[in-house]
Structure 1
Amino acid sequence: MMANKKPFTSAIIGTLVALSIIALVLSLVKVEDVTLPPTVKYGMVFDAGSSHTSLFVYEWDSDKENDTGVVSQTLSCDVQGPGISSYAYDPPRAGDSLRECLDKALKVVPAAKQRDVPAYLGATAGMRLLREQNSSVADQVLAEVTKTMQEYPVDFKGARILTGEEEGAYGWITINYLLDSFTEFSPKAHTWLRPEVANIFGALDLGGASTQISFVPEGSVLNQNEASKFTLYGYNYNIYTHSYLCYGQNEMLKRLAKELIVASAPSTRVCHPCYPKGYNETVRLSAFRASPCTDRSDARLPAGDSTVTLEGRGNASGCLAAVRELFNFSACGQSRDCTFDGVYQPPLRGQFIAFSAFYYNFKFLNLTEGQPLATAREAIEQLCTRSWEDLSSSYPKEDPKRLPKYCANANYILTLLLDAYKFNETSWKNIFFQMKAGSADVGWTLGYMLNLTNMIPAEAPTRVKGHMPSLWAAAITFIILTLVLGLTALLLLLWM
């Protein structure tokens, strides 16, 4: 019987030794986290701006929620027609206008996941103006939008009007999230690191009815009405953000035309220095009474609903001078911490991403590649002196309603950036005109969704990517198996 036990015992011990050696070899190989295939989640946000509406669909791996750099843009869809505020007299059309883009969104989101998709609609300056004019009509428009959204198999979270400061702050979050400015993973240290504060970008947004500036100042924001506070990835950010209602480019053009008309009254033929020579535009005076930005009660505006013809003059210096008149720079007195209209702003700091209409206007002028300020000035001046015949023949594919307004828009951007926000020849190089960061569009929508879904945690990331260092894994595995082997051998020897 003892003779039978010895070969059996030897076989068991040999097997355990072999298994221990195999385990050790395996443990020396990189040990990756073994998980089930990640579940992709989706989210969608409508940006209901003053001039148009866009839908953005985002996706991310559910096993990386509260991580960073994991949200990607799957779809962007421009809604046909004007912004939802334009449907004040026919609110149901505001909801119907969204259907085409919603149908496209459901084609990229798997049917089994659609009902779990958080969907948001945020309205900006156009609806802020409509709410000032008639709050009940603004509510009706939002109600019709909500009604349409609730017909679709998504988890609709509501439609609301953002404040200008929210719009600016969420744009700031979007930019810095996409550019990994908040936190980044260090493969060498196997941990998350916070980039230098100097690498945090400021945000410059120009829409149809408002414009926003947001950045982290050198010290604290003295005027708390202009401050937005966030705790992101374990760090506190106290940013300055201000929104200027009625200073979006479309409302600026209306205000400019109104001032030119008032100055020329009672003539019905008005010289417009910013429009190209040979271009004429006929407008009704009632159009200026339809917006709070052009002050319907302004007694200087001629009475009645007559028409006025704006005649282009192509005068570059005259255009710049007329645009500057739209700002009240004298309200700041001698204060350095002031932009215009008496609005507080701390000194600029860091680099800025200028997007939306900032980008589109300068893209038309081929000024988005970091050209110096002198080059920008020269390009704008040359554009303003070109005739309508020259422009229309040179840009046959450009929207004929947009083309004659580039001169005014470009001079407005120069005035806003240089005279109001106080960029100069040196700091001009800190402005980057772009509409994308990575594969996603720059704007407030991604920051809005990240905030409402808690995708950016307040606490610092703790989950370490990658694998456990292989030698540690080997040591732990070897110790455990050695103990097992030792105990097994001891039991067998006692049994023998």
Structure 2
Amino acid sequence: MARYLARVGELEATDTEDPNLNYGLVVDCGSSGSRIFVYFWPRHNGNPHDLLDIKQMRDRNSQPVVKKIKPGISAMADTPEHASDYLRPLLSFAAAHVPVKKHKETPLYILCTAGMRLLPERKQLAILADLVKDLPLEFDFLFSQSQAEVISGKQEGVYAWIGINFVLGRFDHEDESDAEAPQELAAGRRRTVGILDMGGASLQIAYEVPTSTSVLPPQQEEAAKILLAEFNLGCDVQHTEHVYRVYVTTFLGFGGNFARQRYEDLVLNETLNKNRLLGQKTGLSPDNPFLDPCLPVGLTDVVERNSQVLHVRGKGDWATCGAMLSPLLARSNASQASLNGIYQSPIDFNNSEFYGFSEFFYCTEDVLRIGGRYHGPTFAKAAQDYCGMAWSVLTQRFKNGLFSSHADEHRLKYQCFKSAWMYQVLHEGFHFPYDYPNLQTAQLVYDREVQWTLGAILYKTRFLPLRDLRQEGVRQAHGSWFRLSFVYNHYLFFACILVVLLAIILYLLRLRRIHHRQTRASAPLDMLWIEEVVPMMGVQVGP
């Protein structure tokens, strides 16, 4: 119940009047645009085993505080002196939401991804240099040269993995009787989840691997070192419960849209070559189209590459489509290789859990309406049935609102291809069993979209709890000293009273002895005086 209430609380407006809240900013400088995310967290609870409780800030209307601008920052490649001007709207937006008195202690991270990676290094450095030089002149955020950088695809994947597992509570190592609590590993450590993310241009996989792996041939061992990331999310390097070892790989060209382009290139070249060899005219006119098994039945389309044109018509044969896509996986004969012959760390499919995002969710939910828990045979049957439908039937169903509100004509047109591609990537490329039961396709986690920027700020601020831990230690030490001093003073007070009483008693006893001694010394003198007086009283006067 406590975790459920915490998730509900995350959807409420952030209390900017709370002086105990801290803030942080992350700018995601992507290829098509840049977005700024505002995060906040309360003071650390003082337990060195816990991470900061970071959440995305929400405005008065309980909406996430995020702003996006276009184009990407890489558009400043030839005019790097305008890079800070480009980001000004984002930082002004954040400055208006973060309390002014918190600006000087609010860290700012500017992290650039794919678009900037494509630029020459000198142009990257020129853009970053302008940001570091000019932004501090206008904004008071905590910002230094090391906080503006171009991150690798590997870093981006690690941050995404951190963000998902943090939101799912997989870094909480406390014992809970929660029905949703995942299976725990040794020493009470929770099992983390792996992520699969297929975008339009690239594909990414990330999952935790055991610290001890089997002995590999030298070539594979070298590849494994490149693809593995080991890091400590905890604030104390001496504590290892938050040390994770993650395999992460990004495959450029394996996203859904880019894979379609590669497939069309393959079909175009093979068909035209066959035409030349056999004297055929397949695909050269609408009357003699190439029958594409990866498009719905009856759908017509045109593939154009430079001056070459190929007319196609959907055949709707999902199984044949999958077979034609197999060469695009570029697998090798190596036992531990996945797509493109890249080394893949072993996955324990009997004790693992994965979340699939982007195309993994769109392919299962937008038109098939079976998103959520993935079941291979069920998905294959639904995808095959969809592919076999006439295009006219599909468009009519779309008009009748039988598909998801997110579905559009592009989704209807390429669903057959993308579902086959996703299936091939998952089972033939990454070697997931066809009946693998622990893949969850999702767009939101606990009703919110999880960005890799959350993982980035968790990692970047991992040492901040040390400040609160030191303050807590000083406070506890002061409290202990005060309690000890209080007890000591009480004992000292009573001891003083006892000493005074003892001194009084001794003084009285001494007086009593002195008085007794004086009494005994004066007794003979009294007798002598009596003896002298009494005879005188008995003397007669006269004869």
Using the size of structure 1 for normalisation, the TM-score is 0.69
**For the structure 1 residues 416 and 82, does the alpha-carbon distance in structure 2 shift closer, same or farther, using more than 3 Å as the test?**
farther
- Residue 51 of structure 2 corresponds to 68
CA apart distance, 1:243: 2.0
Aligned length: 426
Matched, 1:245 2:252: yes
* Maintained 8 Å contact 2:204/2:248: yes
CA apart distance, 1:73: 1.4
User: Which 5+ residue runs of structure 1 have no aligned equivalent?
Assistant: 1-36, 286-303
Relative contact order: is structure 1 or structure 2 higher (C-alpha 8 Å, sep ≥ 6)?
Answer: 1
Q: Deviations over 1:195-253 (max 9, x none)?
A: 64561222323233322222233432743222211134322433322222222233222
Letter in 2 for 1:224: K
> What is the alpha-carbon distance in structure 2 between the residues aligned to residue 437 and residue 476 of structure 1?
49
- Residue 373 of structure 1 corresponds to 376
- Residue 395 of structure 2 corresponds to 389
**For the structure 1 residues 183 and 486, does the alpha-carbon distance in structure 2 shift closer, same or farther, using more than 3 Å as the test?**
same
Pick one of 411, 422, 434 that aligns with 2:431.
Answer: 422
**For the structure 1 residues 198 and 228, does the alpha-carbon distance in structure 2 shift closer, same or farther, using more than 3 Å as the test?**
same
Pick one of 192, 196, 213 that aligns with 1:200.
Answer: 192
User: Which 5+ residue runs of structure 2 have no aligned equivalent?
Assistant: 1-17, 58-63, 178-184, 215-220, 276-282, 505-543
- Residue 213 of structure 1 corresponds to 205
* Maintained 8 Å contact 1:69/1:178: no
- Residue 353 of structure 1 corresponds to 355
Letter in 2 for 1:315: D
- Residue 261 of structure 1 corresponds to 268
Matched, 1:124 2:131: no
CA apart distance, 1:139: 6.3
- Residue 171 of structure 1 corresponds to 160
Q: Deviations over 1:137-172 (max 9, x none)?
A: 666776788799668624455543322222222222
Identical-residue share of aligned pairs (%): 26
**For the structure 1 residues 112 and 456, does the alpha-carbon distance in structure 2 shift closer, same or farther, using more than 3 Å as the test?**
closer
* Maintained 8 Å contact 2:173/2:190: no
Structure showing greater Rg: 2
RMSD over equivalenced CA pairs, Å: 4.5
Pick one of 169, 174, 180 that aligns with 1:180.
Answer: 169
Matched, 1:42 2:23: yes
**For the structure 1 residues 423 and 148, does the alpha-carbon distance in structure 2 shift closer, same or farther, using more than 3 Å as the test?**
farther
Letter in 1 for 2:68: V
Q: Deviations over 1:330-365 (max 9, x none)?
A: x2x2x4312132221122132122234433443424
Letter in 1 for 2:206: S
> What is the alpha-carbon distance in structure 2 between the residues aligned to residue 280 and residue 353 of structure 1?
35
- Residue 113 of structure 1 corresponds to 102
- Residue 520 of structure 2 corresponds to none
CA apart distance, 1:435: 4.2
Q: Deviations over 1:1-24 (max 9, x none)?
A: xxxxxxxxxxxxxxxxxxxxxxxx
**For the structure 1 residues 126 and 311, does the alpha-carbon distance in structure 2 shift closer, same or farther, using more than 3 Å as the test?**
farther
Q: Secondary structure at the match of 2:25?
A: strand
Paired residues for 1:91-490 under 5 Å = 102-128=91-117, 130-131=118-119, 153=139, 154-156=141-143, 158-185=147-174, 196-197=188-189, 199-218=191-210, 219-220=212-213, 222=221, 223-233=224-234, 234-235=239-240, 236-265=243-272, 267=283, 271-277=291-297, 279-280=299-300, 284-285=304-305, 304-305=306-307, 311-329=313-331, 331=332, 333=333, 335-349=334-348, 350-364=352-366, 365-386=368-389, 387=391, 389-390=395-396, 392-393=398-399, 394=401, 395=403, 398-426=407-435, 428-437=436-445, 441-455=449-463, 483=491, 486-487=494-495, 489-490=497-498
Q: Secondary structure at the match of 1:184?
A: coil
**For the structure 1 residues 276 and 489, does the alpha-carbon distance in structure 2 shift closer, same or farther, using more than 3 Å as the test?**
farther
- Residue 530 of structure 2 corresponds to none
Q: Secondary structure at the match of 2:437?
A: helix
* Maintained 8 Å contact 1:278/1:389: no
